[in-house]
Copies of this chain bind each other. A is one copy, B any other.
Amino acid sequence: MPRKVRTREGGRREAIASAAARLFREKGFSGTGMRDLAGSVGIEAASLYNHIDSKAALLRDICFRIADACNAHLRELEAAPGLDSLGQLEAIVRFHVRLWIERLDEVLVATNEFRSLEEPWLEHFLQERRMYMRRIEAILSQGIQEGSIRPLEPYGVVLTLMSAVRGIEFWHRSRKHVSAASLESTMVELIVDGIRNSQG
């Protein structure tokens, strides 16, 4: 029942959340005022609090929505049959490329502004990120053991994999020359061929 009644309010809440993601990305969390945010959805600052709990809650929602999306994708992948380590890593890189292309605002806030999270949320977020990186490192180590992946130091490779896609931030401003599909295939080829063992 409540679904129909609150349709309008739900729309407003989403508008606030997505304006917050854009502003937090552009000006940072502490550089964004509630009056900026209110203005960008056409109401007064005080009126925001009919839809949201606090500025901190907006940041929390963005960070954990992204963390959840990454974890869900990795869980699916680990359960999927018929993919070897290299195939799994390619899928992870491709997922990240698409996340950065399609949801830049949220991803950048989760990447750059998470430090403004309050405890215990900050610790929780950092722990999830550590675990995520360890799971990818484990896939790498297995691929190295099996011989499908070059015998490089796995931690350094994970760091490189996960940060390489951050260049997409620049692409968003100057999307003149290159299509999303071209960018995706360039990055995936470059990274995946970098880790593939061509000796094998």
Residue of B nearest to A168 (CB): B159
- A70: Cβ under 8 A from any B Cβ: no
CB neighbors of B among A101-155 (8 A): 112, 115-116, 133, 150, 152-153, 155
Check B28 against A186 for contact (C-beta < 8 Å): no
State the oligomeric state as a number of copies. 2
6 more A-B residue pairs beyond the given contacts A28-B28, A155-B177, A163-B164, with a C-beta to C-beta distance below 8 A: A29-B31, A152-B189, A156-B167, A156-B171, A159-B187, A163-B165
Q: A194 is contacted by which of B155, B169, B190 (Cβ under 8 Å)?
A: B190
Per-position contact with B for A17-47: 1 when CB-CB < 8 Å, else 0?
Answer: 0000000001111110000000000000000
- On whether the beta carbons of A190 and B186 are closer than 8 Å, the reply is no
- Interface: A66 (CB within 8 A): no
In this complex, the member of A156, A166, A182, A193 whose beta carbon has the largest number of chain B beta carbons within 10 angstroms is A156
**Contact between B30 and A156 (Cβ–Cβ < 8 Å)?**
no
Across-interface contacts of A187 in B (CB, < 8 A):
156, 159-160
User: Do B191 and A160 have beta carbons less than 8 Å apart?
Assistant: yes
Q: How far is the CA of A162 from the CA of B133 in the complex (A)?
A: 21
Question: From residue A56, how far is it (CB to closest CB) to chain B in Å?
Answer: 13
| Residue contact B153 to A159, C-beta cutoff 8 Å | no
Is A115 a contact of B160 with CB atoms below 8 Å?
A: no
Contact A160 B153 (CB under 8 A): no
Q: Are A178 and B156 in contact (CB under 8 A)?
A: yes
Q: Report B-chain residues with C-beta under 8 Å of the C-beta of A186.
A: 152-153, 156-157, 160
Chain B CB within 10 A, most for which of A190, A193, A194: A190
Let me know if B195 and A190 touch, CB within 8 A: yes
A50: Cβ under 8 A from any B Cβ: no
Rounded to whole Å, the gap between the CB of A42 and the closest CB of chain B is: 24
